[in-house]
Structure 1
Amino acid sequence: MTTQQPVALVTGASSGIGKEVALRLVDAGYQVVGTSRDASKLTGSDGLTFVDLDVSSDASVAAAVEHVLGQFGRLDVLVNNAGIGSAGAAEELTVAQDQKVIDVNVLGVVRMMKAVLPHMRARGRGRIVNVSSIAGLVPQPHMATYVASKHALEGYSESVDHEVREHGVRVVLVEPGPTSTSFDGAMVRPAVLLPAYAQQRQTFAEVMADSIKDGDDPVTVAKVIVAAVMDTKPKLRYPAGVTAGRVSVLRRFAPARVFDKQIRKINRLAG
């Protein structure tokens, strides 16, 4: 049966930004399906249901999208919010750990988009909102793999948007800055720490803790994501939060030497 209400699928909706997005889309009149690795622990409400989803599994992605289409007969919006971070010097992480981050943050989005695009294209309409980061625009020492994943997401999203726009589908990016969530608790971290990076590691931990403590409320980011969903003339990129807005402007207009110096200053690295 096809519902008359628009339907949104939000990955990583069990907490933080994803949870706030799901609730606000329900308020905006959407039937929302949120996802989690273990949806049995979550309680839905009017307009909000949950389904199991592991974005690193082809079969899980296919099953989740088929569930939505089978239940509602349509899918208007996909919000790719699920993701994981990484912390540690680049040479401290194993290739397997790097692959895990890429598999979730990049290939997880690729899987989701490949699963929903045939339906959206056939209907001649659809909106995909990929939650990136200001790390998709700038470097961040001790988060190289995470940063690489977000840079890749930016390029992939922008490229696919050009492919599908003539079919009534838009792919847009939301770029949050530091946000007060449990993000840092789920980071991939190295098992073996190299003494050469001991001082940088301590400094990074302090910088990260300060940025999370002073970060934006998840509600702030969620409001931007919902705006990106609802915008009748969507932009390609939506910075979310004060820091993200400032960094976006700085990246575009600051001379390379000035920008490089600022990155080292923020991260308390030797000049």
Structure 2
Amino acid sequence: MTSIKPVALITGASSGIGEAAAIRLLAAGYIVYGTSRRGEQAGQRQFPLIALDVTDDNSVTAAVSELLQREGRIDLLINNAGFGVAPAAAEESSIEQAKAILDTNFLGIVRMTRAVVPHMRQQGSGRIINISSILGVVPMPFVALYAASKHAVEGYSEALDHELRTRGIRVSVIEPAYTKTQFEANNMEPDAKLEEYDQVRNKLAKVVAQAMEKADAPTVVAEVVLKAARAKQPKLRYTAGKAARQLQFLRRFAPASVLDAGIRKSLKLDA
């Protein structure tokens, strides 16, 4: 069957930003399918959950095929699945850990895009929204691997938008800052900890905890997702939340030395 309402597919939709975006899109009239590694076993939602592991080629193919069998089309792909590493020095994560975060946060988007774009090209329209991070624009110390994965998302998305624009498909990235989800609670601990970083790691944990108290609700990001999905002339990049807007502004207009000093002061690195 072919649906009349636009059909959205959201990865990592069992909680947080993904779930909030799904609920907002439902309210706006979309048919929404979410995904999680556990699928329906993740619990009941207002929308169906399809089992999907973005690091597995076969799983990606199966999930996209299942949705196409159910609805006949995909109008909006939101790549949200991802994870981070708890604050740590770059040298405190092994190569295996670096591969793992890139496999999910970046290559997961590549897999989903390669699976969905042929169908969007065939129907002559589509939107892809990749959930990035303000750290993909303004990298912070002690989250180097996560920042690197989001920089990859930013570059890939910009190139992809150029490639697909003449096919009726547009690509946007959403750049939140701190958001009140379970994301930090699920961070992977660095697997090669060094005593030399114990003090700064503990200090950063307190800084992050304080920042999370003032963090945006996932609904703030969900509203921006809807804005990008509905825009007649979508922008490539959208910030979500006050903190992200401020950092984006500083990145664009402030001298590099001012931004550098501001980052170090906010993280209390020179205290």
TM range (shorter): over 0.9
CA–CA distance in 2 between the matches of 1:204 and 1:107? 28
CA–CA distance in 2 between the matches of 1:263 and 1:194? 23
Q: Deviations over 1:29-83 (max 9, x none)?
A: 11111001102232144xx211001001111111111111111001000000111
Deviating more after overlay: 94-103 vs 194-203 = 194-203
Match of 2:62 in 1: 63
Aligned partner letter, 2:65: E
Kindly state the Cα deviation for residue 179 of structure 1 after the two structures are TM-superposed. Answer: 0.6
Q: What does 1:34-113 correspond to in 2, within 5 Å?
A: 34-39=34-39, 40-45=41-46, 48-87=47-86, 88-113=88-113
Residues 94 and 192, structure 2, Cα contact 8 Å, conserved in 1: no
SS at match of 2:106: helix
In structure 1, stretches of 5+ residues that fail to align are: none
In structure 2, stretches of 5+ residues that fail to align are: none
Structure 1 stretches of 4+ moved >6 Å: none
Kindly state the Cα deviation for residue 140 of structure 1 after the two structures are TM-superposed. Answer: 1.4
Q: Deviations over 1:79-121 (max 9, x none)?
A: 0011101121111111101111000000000000010000101
CA–CA distance in 2 between the matches of 1:43 and 1:85? 26
CA–CA distance in 2 between the matches of 1:4 and 1:176? 31
Q: Deviations over 1:196-234 (max 9, x none)?
A: 112210121011111212100111111111111111110
Aligned partner letter, 1:187: N
Aligned partner letter, 1:89: A
Normalised to the residue count of structure 2, the TM-score between the two structures is: 0.97
CA–CA distance in 2 between the matches of 1:242 and 1:124? 36
Residue 25 of structure 1 pairs with residue 25 of structure 2: yes
SS at match of 1:128: strand
Residues 101 and 188, structure 1, Cα contact 8 Å, conserved in 2: no
Kindly state the Cα deviation for residue 192 of structure 1 after the two structures are TM-superposed. Answer: 3.8
Aligned partner letter, 1:31: I
Kindly state the Cα deviation for residue 191 of structure 1 after the two structures are TM-superposed. Answer: 3.2
Q: Percent identity at matched positions? A: 50
Tell me how large the CA RMSD over aligned residues is: 1.1
Aligned partner letter, 1:67: E
CA–CA distance in 1 between the matches of 2:140 and 2:43? 34
Q: Deviations over 1:96-151 (max 9, x none)?
A: 01111000000000000010000101111000000000000112111100000001
Residues 136 and 151, structure 2, Cα contact 8 Å, conserved in 1: yes
